[in-house]
Structure 1
Amino acid sequence: MKTFSAFFTGMTFILALTFGCSVKKFIPEDEYLYTGATLELKSGDDINDIKEVTEEVEALLRPEPNKKILGMYVGLWAYYKGTQEKPGFINRFLNKKLGEKPIYFSEVNPPQTEELILNRLENRGFFYSITSSDVRRKGKFADLAYTVQISSPYLMDSLMVDRDSMEIDREIIKLLKDTELKPGTRFDLSKLNTERVRIEDALKSRGYYNFNDEYLIFEADTNSGDSARTFNLYLRFKNSVSKAGIIPYKVDEINVFPNYSIDDEAELIDTVTLNGKNFIQGELVFKPNLLDDYILIEKDSLYDPTKSRLSSNRLSSIGNYRFVNLRYEELEADDTLGHLRANIYLSPMAKRSLRAELQGISKSNNFAGPAVNVIYRNRNLFDGGETLNLTGKFAYEFQVGRGGVQGLNSVELGLKADLIYPRVIFFIPIKERFSYSVPKTKISLGTEFLDRGGLYRLNTFSGNYGYFWNANRFVYHEINPVSINVVNLTKTSEEFESILDSNPFLRNSFQRQFIAGVNYTFNYNKLADKFRTHAVFVGVGLDLAGSGLNAVSNIIGSKSGELLGMPYAHYAKADLDLRYYFRFSKEHTLATRFLAGVGKPLGRSVSLPYVKQFFAGGPNSIRAFRIRSLGPGTYRPEVFNQASFFDQAGDIRLEGNLEYRFPIISVLKGAAFFDAGNLWLMNENESLPGGKFTSSWWDELAVGTGIGLRVDIEFFVIRFDLATPLRIPSLPENERWVRNFDFGDKSWRRDNLIFNFAIGFPF
């Protein structure tokens, strides 16, 4: 290690001499290379936002000097080498990829920068500040040192409206009761602009359709303050404001065109008036009584931009319209009130569509592979925005680089029908009260056939009835009060029967079961906003099954754990998914995730159904362990084969992931990651020794690390991850940390380097 450190230090020194000093000879005789500027702010007063002021002033120090990497002008060196005579292919390539034009001191204008600094400080209330600059030259390099003596700030003594003769003046006076411009507030131009925008938004919500914040002007009077460096602030209208901008507007008429087409006006002939809205369409396309519920604006009400925006959102959320366009048309106004006509143009999508999709699937159960979906969609099925989706699916799933674990593939066939109503369907009428979007009702029926590596065949029939909606742009809810699954294990191989015979818990989880219950999903997601430095995701899932059936079974006197002769599952399950992204820049992200889950068998059930259990390892989990080869606890099968594949599931999951994502070149991205976690059983299982969750769970965590390559073309990501375990919980307690990394040994690489292929990011 000492040898490597000395080598690294020596190489750094040599490179610094090569790149840092060699640029000197390229600097023209009459020029100095500009190396940047420092800033010192001095003040005799205690400024509570001095950090913010300093950052704002530092941003004015232009131009930016040439960048350094480890103290070396790599980009500048590449530019100089690539622009010399006969630079050669390599130098031209380096200049194109890394080159950076030199910034010379002759391009810097200190007096202009000082003027900008003084202007910015005046905008912040620091009038009559003093600036100076000092040029420092050393060899062929030069930099600047700016010193700023900040004056005492001007503080507001009072805020008054210059007039109060009109209704809008009285509205503004009311709004100023909630202003942040209080006596003692420092003069700040940005806060004045913010206040004008606040007043504009508030007045528009009160019906002032044409009002603009540019109509307002703040004037500061420093001569009438009660003491030195104070001012009185006056708010008044500019002289050029028109009457239309300072009177409220009322919505006199609302026209809705449910089947609007710019090329076919002849169809817009029949009008149905309902709740003050005119629904204009030829052939019936959307029932007016249903469409009316999506529109929040009302006849004879004052103009409200919030209701206008939400009405557009709600109409768009139906899912049947390609364009939703709400336009206001001004009618003749009187002296004190304006009048509007609201026209809502709705352009529908094609009623029927058929689409085939070839997908690369990377699923939460850690399988990956190709899939073909054929989707038939019928929009506006009953003239109320209903959507019918019929989906046929064929999928083949596997894991690349699965090593010695056999049977890790499957063939899946499925057929599913979804009927989505863009409103709440309940046995009693419910008037939804969500302004952001309308809750949708979803009825689903489906069947799936699964052939798992020739070991068994599983038929699943499912039915769901529930609701989903977005409470706002970040929050999503889904609740299924009726969720039914019938799992039926059909053909099994002799090998699989022997696996079940050796593990009664596993046989119980694979028995024919009736799963009926309720489930709920909550998501809070800010990861999609690329501009956020700190972004979070919170996902919560609850799944309760069997309690209702248990009550019915007791009432009708059925055998415990059965209903009408069919066993049913009885359990409670909860999941937590926490993610946090820290974006250093647009291209560099530190992504973290924490997963926790617990499922508890209830009543006569001794285990969760197999389809509801947790699994670990694979491309979306702990990547240093092959698919489903981890846990539960410290359990280790004698041989990693098909039997261990089914045994290694659990009722409890804890998992944490850390991943640094960075660019390499063009669409090729890189990643370095660290994963840790494991599974455990809720109850003791003699067939899986060491699998039960105990107080020493932390000593049974698996740990792995690795690197990855991603082909990221915005809407599609292909991912390759190479990982190796650092800690293996199935080994004896004092041997779990891996200490030998013999990358030169072929057998070590085969057993310890795990290759994962997947579609999309792991989290």
Structure 2
Amino acid sequence: MFRNTLLLLCVLMLSSSCNVVKRVKNGQHLIINNTILEDSIQVSNERINNIIIQKTNSGMRKFLGFPLKLHIYNLARPNIDSVLNANILSDSAKVKRRIALLSKKQFYKQLKTQRDFNAWLKRTGEAPVIYNEDKTIKTATNLRKYYYTKGWFNNTVNYEVEKDSNKLAKVTYNVHKSKPYILDSLNPIISSPAIDSLYTKFIAASLLKKGEQFDEQNYESERERINTYLRNAGFYYFAQDYIRYEMDTINTNNKVYTDLIIGNRIIRGDDSTTTKPFKKYTIKEVNIYTDDNFENRFNTIKDTTTYKNFNLYSKEKLRFRPKALTDAVFINKGDTYSDLARSRTARYLNDLQMFRYPNIDFVENATDSTLTANIFLEPKNKYALSFDSDINQSNIQSIGFSFSSGLKIRNIFRGAETLEITGIAAIGASKSRSSTETSFFDINEFGGNIRLTIPRLFSPFNTEKITPKYMSPSTAINLSATSQQNIGLDKQSISGVFSYNWYPSNTVTNTLELFNINFVKNLNTDNYFGVYQNSFGRLNAIARAIDYIDDDGTLSDNSLPNEYEPADIFISDVLTGNTSLTSSDDDYVTINNIEERKERLTENNLIFSTSFDYKKDRRKNIFDNDFSVFKWRIELAGNLMSNISNIAGLSKNDDDNYEIFGVAFSQYIKTEIDYIKYIDLGRQNVFAFRSYAGIAIPYGNSNNIPFAESFFAGGPNDNRAWTAYDLGPGSSNNTNEFNEANFKLHLSAEQRFSLFGNFQGAVFVDAGNIWNVLDNVTEEASTLTNLSSLKDIAIGSGIGLRYDFDFFVLRFDVGFKTHDPSQDVGNRWFRDYNFGNATYNIGVNYPF
């Protein structure tokens, strides 16, 4: 089916390719190719190719050479009104017949629909790019200007146009660069003595290096650098416009001699202009107005406090402890004026989420070279309520309702802290209710969460040197509890997190979870085989095969309190040698694996861990498509509990493990590395790449990893040719509902391109798998024994369609199993590569 579809698509594109000039008039030519030759070598640099004014139609050289937007435009009638008039409206008899058939209203509505559809084709499509001599000349001029800015002052640019009888044109731009100009001397001419005295300091890091080729961008970047330096060195009135260059290149043997000119300050009055040297300013006073808003603008100050040289004013009683506000201010009395201190103050005050649009003003004091800093704060409401509700359906419930509510309390302890209290309640009707007497809403879940955010590191130690306040350090304390009934094995969970967050730079985020405690108690372990029906099915099949039960029998009994007690008895009989199976039989191994998995998934979990997260995100904004993101996480669990148990001399259980409150705590080390790279190829064409590796190694008090901390593969944000939890481990062909392991590799590459309007397309390749390593799983197909196990990496490929709603992207991907490690070694490639066996994914936003 897939091959037939592909063939049909190719035929369609080939048949349409001869029609690209459908709307090209006689004497005109459609541009199908632009080439820039730099000293006879073709230029691939996207920045240079973007200089071309008349670019070819979208898709002319990509998406299999099929200009989709152009073909959509060609479907539109250029003169729809004339066509409708000639074919319909001019024939009164035809008009009467149609009105009689449709009614007058429907007839004219049909005409309007045709006009609207024609207009939509034009808007969605793309008009043919017709060769224009003037625009080609302008492109050549712009190319010469570009190469001039890069140091090739004597470059020449000409062009050649190749036109054919099919109304097609190819344009070639020939660039001859000539010898480049090299930077030589840099001579400072600085009018203000205060700035001149700093010249040797700020010029040391100059971007204008003697011996380097001239680049106009370096001159502009140098202006920005000097301006930033001086603005942070106390020159409050300085601006970039005061910096200019004069360059001498006449008879210099391709050398550039540069004068760096920094003028005096210009003061413009109503009818006169004066100049005076720039001078440094220091901060004389810092005033913080803590409750400034429109309503109380005429009220007088009632509360005044001075704290560490900061003056705090309030028109009502001061709501905040002075230290909570002054810790957020980097502008200090006696300091030299600095733009950096101003921006850090604004950012920190915003991060507190206590105020609306903090405003910072500086007022010059006429008697001396000082400034008064006035910080105006408008507090947000102390209390904020939120409510949410949802109706849902899933594979375990026919209908469900959930309700959540939250209360946010700002400045709860007068130190700019935020307390958030949320609760959730959900009820639903189970699809598997076995009794009509059971309440309709037999599924329920209740939970609550309390989170306290403190805008500093809450610690008995002085952490200022490790995490200065410009890094916006904060502490989060989070407590939560949930209880479920008739959901899976039913469970109760309690968790608590004590974490630190700080931002060393604009691109780096650090999170240290000093304590993370998570306790999970399974309440209905007797229902294990009711939840994991695939495992139960395999048990039934084996029991019938060895005549343990009749061919139509089952290892369950509704009359028993534990319906699946016969299944547990069968497992016990097999493992104790009370059946015909022996330990060398494959079925015996299968049952042993089922029992080990059952014990693992039904055991209660106690995890006491410490973790550190590092994230470096170079993305500048949401429109940036040329960036990278690096994430690293390391987690250690159980070490503290193990040391305490050992020191206290606690006894171990039958499995040689320590227990806390009757539960064996988990002990492991887990680390994850994630790297994402976007490359902007221009014209809404982006190549995206992701690599991920994760491993969790049990030791000490554990020989396996808790289910919640293990890895899975597949799903809309992973390997899209498999559904979530369906892939792996390794080459095993498990039919478990949830396949997981403790080691994972994943790679993804995706080419994204614009189709038409807000629709975007993608082609992708995903590769990876999960394996068991260094734990108690012994199945060879599931374990990573050496590098040869990497032959079991699964590869999926596919296509995607996306619609951009601006604030989010709706995504539809189709993944095909390209290399399936669960198949026999000689039959893994392209075995089920068709739409019938494809996996269809719907997601929100991009997968990475």
The interval holding the TM-score normalised by the smaller chain is: 0.7 to 0.9
Using structure 2 for the length normalisation, give the TM-score: 0.74
- 2:294 alignment partner, SS class: coil
Q: Please name the residue that 1:346 is paired with.
A: 377
**Residue 27, structure 1, aligned to residue 18, structure 2:** no
Q: Tell me how far 1:74 sits from its aligned partner.
A: 7.5
**8 Å Cα contact 1:577-1:594 kept in structure 2:** yes
| Farther off after superposition, 522-531 or 193-202 | 522-531
**Residue 430, structure 1, aligned to residue 463, structure 2:** yes
Give, as a single letter, the amino acid of the residue that structure 2 aligns with 1:215: Y
- Cα deviations across residues 376-409 of structure 1 (Å, max 9, x unaligned)? 11111111111111122356999xxxxxxxxxx9
Q: Please name the residue that 1:623 is paired with.
A: 720
Q: Give the 3 Å change call, closer, same or farther, for CA 506–137 of structure 1 in structure 2.
A: closer
Runs of 5+ unmatched residues, structure 1: 44-48, 364-368, 399-408, 744-748
**Residue 250, structure 1, aligned to residue 282, structure 2:** yes
C-alpha separation in 2, matches of 1:272 and 1:350 = 23
| Farther off after superposition, 549-558 or 261-270 | 261-270
C-alpha separation in 2, matches of 1:474 and 1:237 = 33
Q: Tell me how far 1:207 sits from its aligned partner.
A: 0.6
| Farther off after superposition, 187-196 or 137-146 | 137-146
Q: Give the 3 Å change call, closer, same or farther, for CA 617–58 of structure 1 in structure 2.
A: closer
C-alpha separation in 2, matches of 1:272 and 1:392 = 39
Q: Tell me how far 1:585 sits from its aligned partner.
A: 3.8
Q: Please name the residue that 2:635 is paired with.
A: 543
C-alpha separation in 2, matches of 1:300 and 1:76 = 65
Q: Give the 3 Å change call, closer, same or farther, for CA 279–51 of structure 1 in structure 2.
A: farther
Q: Please name the residue that 2:499 is paired with.
A: 466
Alignment partner for residue 122 of structure 2, among 80, 83, 95?
95
Alignment partner for residue 388 of structure 1, among 416, 419, 429?
419
**8 Å Cα contact 1:207-1:304 kept in structure 2:** yes
- 1:354 alignment partner, SS class: strand
Give, as a single letter, the amino acid of the residue that structure 1 aligns with 2:742: D
C-alpha separation in 1, matches of 2:760 and 2:141 = 43
Q: Give the 3 Å change call, closer, same or farther, for CA 159–520 of structure 1 in structure 2.
A: closer
Q: Give the 3 Å change call, closer, same or farther, for CA 649–737 of structure 1 in structure 2.
A: same
Q: Please name the residue that 1:46 is paired with.
A: none
Q: Tell me how far 1:284 sits from its aligned partner.
A: 1.7
- Cα deviations across residues 118-170 of structure 1 (Å, max 9, x unaligned)? 66665555556666667776666777766666555555543222357722222
C-alpha separation in 1, matches of 2:730 and 2:775 = 11
**8 Å Cα contact 1:215-1:241 kept in structure 2:** no
**Residue 307, structure 1, aligned to residue 334, structure 2:** no
Q: Tell me how far 1:724 sits from its aligned partner.
A: 4.0
Q: Give the 3 Å change call, closer, same or farther, for CA 691–262 of structure 1 in structure 2.
A: same
Give, as a single letter, the amino acid of the residue that structure 2 aligns with 1:622: N
C-alpha separation in 2, matches of 1:702 and 1:507 = 29
**8 Å Cα contact 1:130-1:149 kept in structure 2:** yes
Q: Please name the residue that 1:403 is paired with.
A: none
**Residue 440, structure 1, aligned to residue 474, structure 2:** yes
**8 Å Cα contact 2:183-2:212 kept in structure 1:** yes
Q: Superposition pairs for residues 135-150 of structure 1, below 5 Å?
A: 150=177
**8 Å Cα contact 1:656-1:675 kept in structure 2:** yes
Q: Give the 3 Å change call, closer, same or farther, for CA 171–700 of structure 1 in structure 2.
A: same
- Cα deviations across residues 69-128 of structure 1 (Å, max 9, x unaligned)? 267887678469632463564765433322426545464474x66666666665555556
Q: Give the 3 Å change call, closer, same or farther, for CA 353–667 of structure 1 in structure 2.
A: farther
Q: Give the 3 Å change call, closer, same or farther, for CA 527–216 of structure 1 in structure 2.
A: closer
- Cα deviations across residues 178-197 of structure 1 (Å, max 9, x unaligned)? 43434445555443333332
Q: Tell me how far 1:304 sits from its aligned partner.
A: 0.6
Q: Tell me how far 1:621 sits from its aligned partner.
A: 3.1
**Residue 652, structure 1, aligned to residue 743, structure 2:** yes
Give, as a single letter, the amino acid of the residue that structure 1 aligns with 2:287: N
Q: Tell me how far 1:461 sits from its aligned partner.
A: 1.0
- 1:211 alignment partner, SS class: coil
**8 Å Cα contact 1:487-1:513 kept in structure 2:** yes
**8 Å Cα contact 1:161-1:173 kept in structure 2:** no
Q: Please name the residue that 2:678 is paired with.
A: 581
| Farther off after superposition, 531-540 or 463-472 | 531-540
Aligned length: 720
Q: Give the 3 Å change call, closer, same or farther, for CA 128–259 of structure 1 in structure 2.
A: same
- 2:524 alignment partner, SS class: strand
Give, as a single letter, the amino acid of the residue that structure 2 aligns with 1:160: N
Q: Please name the residue that 2:552 is paired with.
A: none
**Residue 523, structure 1, aligned to residue 635, structure 2:** no
**Residue 294, structure 1, aligned to residue 328, structure 2:** yes
Q: Give the 3 Å change call, closer, same or farther, for CA 218–726 of structure 1 in structure 2.
A: closer
| Farther off after superposition, 158-167 or 2-11 | 2-11
Q: Give the 3 Å change call, closer, same or farther, for CA 42–701 of structure 1 in structure 2.
A: closer
Q: Superposition pairs for residues 90-129 of structure 1, below 5 Å?
A: 92-100=119-127, 103=130, 105=132, 107-108=134-135, 110=137, 126-127=152-153
**8 Å Cα contact 2:46-2:681 kept in structure 1:** no
Q: Give the 3 Å change call, closer, same or farther, for CA 233–636 of structure 1 in structure 2.
A: closer
C-alpha separation in 2, matches of 1:76 and 1:513 = 60
Q: Tell me how far 1:730 sits from its aligned partner.
A: 3.4
Q: Give the 3 Å change call, closer, same or farther, for CA 374–528 of structure 1 in structure 2.
A: farther
**Residue 158, structure 1, aligned to residue 185, structure 2:** yes
Give, as a single letter, the amino acid of the residue that structure 1 aligns with 2:232: S
Give, as a single letter, the amino acid of the residue that structure 2 aligns with 1:261: N
Q: Please name the residue that 2:847 is paired with.
A: 762
Q: Give the 3 Å change call, closer, same or farther, for CA 340–460 of structure 1 in structure 2.
A: same
**Residue 331, structure 1, aligned to residue 365, structure 2:** yes
Q: Tell me how far 1:311 sits from its aligned partner.
A: 1.5
| Farther off after superposition, 163-172 or 421-430 | 163-172
- 1:479 alignment partner, SS class: strand
C-alpha separation in 2, matches of 1:672 and 1:567 = 47
Q: Please name the residue that 2:246 is paired with.
A: 219
Give, as a single letter, the amino acid of the residue that structure 2 aligns with 1:693: L
C-alpha separation in 1, matches of 2:156 and 2:5 = 52
**8 Å Cα contact 1:717-1:760 kept in structure 2:** yes
Q: Tell me how far 1:727 sits from its aligned partner.
A: 3.7
**8 Å Cα contact 1:614-1:679 kept in structure 2:** yes
- 1:514 alignment partner, SS class: strand
- 1:381 alignment partner, SS class: coil
Aligned-residue identity in percent: 25
- Cα deviations across residues 307-355 of structure 1 (Å, max 9, x unaligned)? 1111111121112222122121222165xxx321111112222211111
Alignment partner for residue 634 of structure 1, among 720, 725, 731?
731
Give, as a single letter, the amino acid of the residue that structure 2 aligns with 1:472: S
- 2:807 alignment partner, SS class: coil
Alignment partner for residue 407 of structure 2, among 357, 376, 381?
376
Give, as a single letter, the amino acid of the residue that structure 2 aligns with 1:252: K
**8 Å Cα contact 1:33-1:103 kept in structure 2:** yes
- 1:83 alignment partner, SS class: coil
Give, as a single letter, the amino acid of the residue that structure 2 aligns with 1:241: I
Q: Give the 3 Å change call, closer, same or farther, for CA 580–122 of structure 1 in structure 2.
A: closer
Q: Please name the residue that 1:169 is paired with.
A: 196
C-alpha separation in 2, matches of 1:351 and 1:419 = 15
Q: Please name the residue that 1:17 is paired with.
A: 18
**8 Å Cα contact 1:483-1:518 kept in structure 2:** yes
Give, as a single letter, the amino acid of the residue that structure 1 aligns with 2:77: G
C-alpha separation in 1, matches of 2:11 and 2:510 = 58
Q: Give the 3 Å change call, closer, same or farther, for CA 190–614 of structure 1 in structure 2.
A: closer
**Residue 235, structure 1, aligned to residue 260, structure 2:** yes
**Residue 260, structure 1, aligned to residue 268, structure 2:** no
C-alpha separation in 2, matches of 1:72 and 1:514 = 58
- 1:444 alignment partner, SS class: strand
C-alpha separation in 1, matches of 2:489 and 2:70 = 65
Q: Give the 3 Å change call, closer, same or farther, for CA 459–97 of structure 1 in structure 2.
A: same
Give, as a single letter, the amino acid of the residue that structure 1 aligns with 2:615: N
